[in-house]
Amino acid sequence: MTRTVEDLRSVGHACAIPVSDEQLWEMTSEFVAAGLSRGEQVVYFDDGTSAHVLERLRDDAVAVRPAIEDGSLAIVPPDATRTALRSPLPAVAEIVSATVDGAVAQGYAGVRLTGQFNYALQRAGGVSLAEYDTVFDDVSRERPVRVLCLYDRRRFPEGAIDEMRARHHTELVVPAIYDDGLLRITGVGPGAARVAGEVDHSNRPRIRRLLESALDDALRSHAAPTDITLDLASLRFLDVAGAISLVHAAEEFPSSHRLVLTGVRPRVMRVLDRCGAPFAAQLVVRSRDDADPAGGPA
């Protein structure tokens, strides 16, 4: 029977079935960042999507470039990932075991493995995805390794997802306030939420309802923070109407409370500026730090 958890601190091998790309990047970034902070080597098997993972890590203020340069974050290129996932099972087991043993010999506390494993769906010789997953299961029992298997619905057929969900003992779940595939909103603390993706006409009202609810809760509780905070570090697009809605929402805040937008990207900042954000008394807008810890573009 599969049990669900919201973190992997006590789990060696788990699966996750994200409902959107935003959730996929969120889960992956959190898993990678946790490994780096614990002194583990993190190996990401790339199928051409690593740029999105690295972007989310930068949003989360993880020092990506130093981790790649010193080898604590290793990104296996798509061609090498494809070759590994189509190798005979004994060879796959040897590759994974050698990777973990080598990392431990270098002084790492352990190894974390994750990435897109959909190349394993095209294995020759009739080897099933479940048989391939058994390799990870066996290695994680014998060595200090944590594995997060990602089975998102855009890349895996429903039958394969159902099979792998039933096979894993643990499934990682990350609840959201809202997720429509384009925009994902998650709670990050009292009076605070993370907004990732894109805001347009289809989901704009959801932001306004979120702010109204958060302000109502804050006004009803003496213990609630006076700042309602939206972390926009992962918000890539905000249309004009959405920016105007945020400004108007802040203008309706009482003088005792503020709407605080943090981690705002330059493109989103320009839209907010043009829509009157600098003149809204109860609105505070904080841009992304000038010094990018990843050493790359925002």
**Model's pTM, two decimal places?**
0.89
- Residues 241-270 pLDDT 10s: 999 999 999 999 999 999 999 999 999 999
Query: Is the separation of the CB atoms in 84 and 124 below 8 Å?
Result: no
CA atoms within 13 A on the CB side of 160: 22
Are domains 3-172 and 178-287 of this chain identical in fold? no
Query: Is the separation of the CB atoms in 12 and 145 below 8 Å?
Result: yes
Q: Which residue has the higher pLDDT, 212 or 78?
A: 212
Measure the CA–CA gap between 43 and 50, rounded to whole angstroms.
Answer: 11
Instruction: Give the per-residue pLDDT at 292.
Output: 44
Query: Is the separation of the CB atoms in 193 and 231 below 8 Å?
Result: yes
Which CATH code fits 3-172?
3.40.50.300
CATH class of 178-287: alpha beta
Q: Which residue has the higher pLDDT, 238 or 131?
A: 238
Buried b (16+ CB within 10 A) or exposed e, 211-235: beebbeebeeeeebbeebbbbbbbb
H-type helices in 21-128, by residue range? Answer: 21-37, 50-59, 64-69, 78-85, 89-105
Instruction: Give the per-residue pLDDT at 295.
Output: 41
Domain spans, the chain: 3-172, 178-287
Instruction: Give the per-residue pLDDT at 291.
Output: 39
Distances (CA, A) of 109 to 52, 57, 70, 95, 153: 26, 21, 15, 19, 33
Measure the CA–CA gap between 27 and 209, rounded to whole angstroms.
Answer: 25
Angle 85-91-92 from CA coordinates, rounded to 5°: 40
- Residues 85-142 pLDDT 10s: 777 888 888 888 999 999 999 999 999 999 877 666 655 455 577 877 888 888 888 8
Backbone φ and ψ for 61, nearest 5 degrees, come out as 65, 35
Query: Is the separation of the CB atoms in 42 and 74 below 8 Å?
Result: yes
Measure the CA–CA gap between 257 and 280, rounded to whole angstroms.
Answer: 13
